[in-house]
Amino acid sequence: MDLPENISNFIHARKANDISPNICDTCNSSCCKGPGFALFENIVYIYNLYTLNQLQRNNYSFETNLSLESFIYKYFDRVLFNGSLLAFFPKILSENNELISVPPWNYYQSRDYIYKRKSNYGCIFLENNWDSDNINNHCILHSNNLYSEITQKPIDCVFLMCSSTNSIIKPTNRESNLWISLLDYYFPNSLENFKQLFPSISD
């Protein structure tokens, strides 16, 4: 599925021109200590990789033979933005290789807390447990088409921007609001659609 042009333009407008697209290849992926969110459309691709046994990483084995419903429940936290847009945050691994789940209230405060935890092994979709010294730790969901298509890479991770020293540049409130509104417009009824598909985990 093509990425709607307005979404693609919005992402490009925020990315600084002087940052090389290959910069992620020489970075320790510190952004992945506090993941961005996926849309359900991203998860369909991720689950497809999973069913093909192509969702593989080091230091952690994904549970086998999960239904899509169980896969989502196990590996994502669901958050509703603006009472309308349903977003899915990949879970994070703790120092004991356990999945850390975040309750949907005070969400950003909780994320901040997790991000700052001394032992946070990062997003479940990082190739290795997060380690500040490892500059070869990459997202296993990367795709070359992520600026033109909806892919397995969570869309909010595509939107993320960092500085030339790999510090995350938080979007302004205005940018965040526009981002959520744009996604809600182009991917409407996300909550209703999800409830219809999975009534048992929709609450």
SS3 state of residue 121: strand
Task: Point out which residues pair with 179 in neighbouring strands.
Answer: none
Q: Is 23 in the site for ligand SF4 (CB under 6 A)?
A: yes
**For 128, how many CA atoms within 13 A lie in the half-sphere containing its CB?**
11
* Shortest distance in whole angstroms from residue 161 CB to ligand SF4: 7
Q: Which is nearer to ligand SF4, 24 or 66 (CB)?
A: 24
Residue 46: both structure tokens together: 């991720």
Q: Which residue of 45, 125, 159, 179 would you call a contact of ligand SF4, by CB under 6 A?
A: 125
At 193, which amino acid appears?
N
- Count of other CB atoms within 10 angstroms of residue 91: 20
Q: At what angle do helices 68-75 and 40-51 cross, to 10 degrees?
A: 110
Report the site for ligand SF4 in 27-46 (rule: CB under 6 A): 27, 29-32, 35-36
Q: Using the rule CB under 6 A, give the single segment among 60-68, 109-117, 160-168, 191-199 that binds ligand SF4.
A: 160-168
CB atoms inside a 10 Å sphere around CB 128: 17
* Residue of the chain from 72, 160, 182, 183 that contacts ligand SF4 (CB under 6 A): 160
Q: How far is the CB of 126 from ligand SF4 (least distance, A)?
A: 4
Binding site for ligand SF4 (CB under 6 A): 23-24, 27, 29-32, 35-36, 90, 123, 125-126, 139, 141, 154, 157, 160, 162, 166
